[in-house]
């Protein structure tokens, strides 16, 4: 039967998660780029949200959540043709329509995360085609494997809100996209700093609040599980913020706003897969790990691998999601408030490791094929003149800022 409180909570959570893309991610990314590229980033997030919504309606929801296949769903729910108004989604107390909407918001933000890797130098048509193919060939299958009753679910993989399904897939695909696209002009020594750190903070603040819907909404009901998940989410974000801030303070003698908010997002990504399984102490431990490890990962990608993952999608989201997924069994048993494990810590860790490796390999392999196709049919990188001019004008004929006088 449909429960009003559960339904209301999931509807609110859907709005919160959509806010994470519109406007949170848009502001967060737009503030990090040069002023001449602000509109291109905002446009990319907005356009992806619209396109993914229609693809989700047409067949991608069915691909992810219908049928009993181990690897992919069927098309029985294509075009939501049999969507009942009054029936609950199986195993929940919320209407099927609300479940469809909630999961749609996850499908929207995941390809939008990848934008951060290729900003300031990619063709708009390439963004749209890549995002569409990636949704169909990477996100939907992995979503089915973990959340739709697929083989990783049967193995007992623990991914409460998307450390594997969302952050790992997006992070690794972003790394490959950035590598195959090539660096921005001037990378790594003369890339311009963020043009609007205040905007980055506003976007991060919206992300932090929206993440309560992302994680606590994944309980699919109002109650104690959602409450503990919300608390764990907040504590991890706060801890990672302080960790990142402290590292910068010790290393450079002064902390930065952009660094602090990046730490918050790293903590949020790290807690995501574990958020519904841990108590307060486990959440703080994951925040500590996420803040420190993601800080190092960001430097390794740019200085070690020399890949211009412009806005640190792998270092923050990919590494954070993988780290949280691997540490779930250890964090769940810290203190009180966690859930009992179905197997030993070591056995569950092996399950988590297998899931991370399999999903990571699939994300890279499928993304490589997608990029080859996109290059052939839509092009890939904007020309040198367009990059120097800025994507706002060269791709869209607009400007984010107008000066007079």
Whichever domain contains 15, its CATH number is: 1.10.3430.10
Mean pLDDT for 83-112 is 96
Domain count, the chain: 1
pLDDT digit string, tens, across residues 240-262 = 999 999 999 999 999 999 999 99
Mean pLDDT for 74-91 is 94
Could you tell me if 325 and 164 are in contact, meaning their C-beta atoms sit under 8 angstroms apart? yes
pLDDT digit string, tens, across residues 42-74 = 999 999 999 999 999 999 999 999 999 999 999
Could you tell me if 129 and 377 are in contact, meaning their C-beta atoms sit under 8 angstroms apart? yes
Residue 64 belongs to a domain? yes
Residue 405 belongs to a domain? no
Residue 404 belongs to a domain? no
Nearest to 155 by CA among 363, 365, 358: 358
The rounded mean pLDDT for the chain is 97
Residue 402 belongs to a domain? no
Residue 400 belongs to a domain? no
- Model pTM? 0.97
pLDDT band with cut points at 50, 70 and 90 for residue 24:
very high
Look at residue 327 and tell me whether its pLDDT is greater than 80: yes
Residue 399 belongs to a domain? no
Look at residue 135 and tell me whether its pLDDT is greater than 70: yes
Mean pLDDT for 331-343 is 97
pLDDT digit string, tens, across residues 344-383 = 999 999 999 999 999 999 999 999 999 999 999 999 999 9
Q: Rounded distance, CA 88 to CA 94, Å?
A: 5
Could you tell me if 253 and 236 are in contact, meaning their C-beta atoms sit under 8 angstroms apart? no
Nearest to 107 by CA among 254, 236, 214: 214
Residue 80 belongs to a domain? yes
Look at residue 190 and tell me whether its pLDDT is greater than 90: no
Quote the domain boundaries for residue 67: 4-394
Mean pLDDT for 112-116 is 98
Residue 65 belongs to a domain? yes
């Amino acid at each position: 039967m449909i429960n009003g409180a559960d339904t209301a909570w999931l509807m609110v959570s859907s709005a919160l998660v959509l806010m994470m893309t519109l406007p949170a991610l848009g502001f967060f990314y737009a503030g990090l780029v040069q002023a001449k590229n602000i509109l291109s980033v905002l446009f990319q997030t907005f356009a992806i949200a619209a396109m993914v919504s229609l693809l989700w309606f047409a067949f991608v929801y069915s691909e992810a959540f219908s049928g009993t296949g181990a690897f992919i769903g069927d098309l029985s729910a294509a075009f939501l043709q049999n969507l009942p108004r009054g029936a609950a989604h199986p195993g929940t107390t919320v209407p099927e329509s609300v479940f469809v909407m909630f999961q749609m918001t996850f499908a929207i933000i995941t390809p939008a995360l990848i934008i951060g890797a290729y900003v300031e130098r990619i063709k708009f048509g390439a963004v749209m085609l890549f995002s569409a193919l990636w949704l169909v060939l990477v996100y939907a299958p992995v979503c089915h494997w973990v959340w739709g009753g697929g083989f990783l679910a049967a193995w007992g993989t623990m991914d409460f809100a998307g450390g594997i399904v969302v952050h790992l897939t997006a992070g690794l695909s972003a790394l490959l996209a950035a590598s195959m696209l090539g660096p921005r002009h001037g990378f790594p020594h003369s890339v311009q700093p963020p043009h609007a750190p205040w905007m980055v903070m506003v976007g991060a603040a919206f992300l932090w609040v929206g993440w309560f819907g992302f994680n606590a909404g994944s309980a699919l009901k109002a109650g104690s599980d959602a409450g503990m998940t919300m608390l764990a989410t907040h504590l991890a974000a706060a801890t990672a913020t302080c960790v990142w801030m402290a590292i910068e303070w010790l290393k450079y003698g002064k902390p930065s706003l952009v660094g602090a908010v990046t730490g918050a997002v790293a903590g949020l990504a790290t807690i995501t897969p574990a958020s519904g399984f841990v108590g307060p102490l486990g959440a703080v431990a994951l925040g500590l790990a996420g803040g420190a490890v993601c800080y190092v990962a960001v430097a390794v990608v740019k200085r070690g691998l020399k890949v211009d993952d412009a806005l640190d999608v792998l270092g923050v989201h990919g590494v954070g999601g993988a780290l949280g997924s691997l540490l779930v069994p250890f964090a769940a048993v810290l203190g009180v408030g966690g859930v009992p494990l179905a197997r030993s810590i070591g056995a569950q860790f092996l399950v988590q490791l297998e899931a991370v490796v399999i999903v990571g390999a699939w994300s890279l392999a499928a993304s490589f094929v997608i990029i080859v196709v996109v290059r052939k049919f839509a092009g890939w990188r904007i020309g040198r003149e367009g990059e120097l001019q800025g994507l706002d004008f060269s791709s869209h004929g607009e400007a984010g800022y107008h000066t007079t006088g």
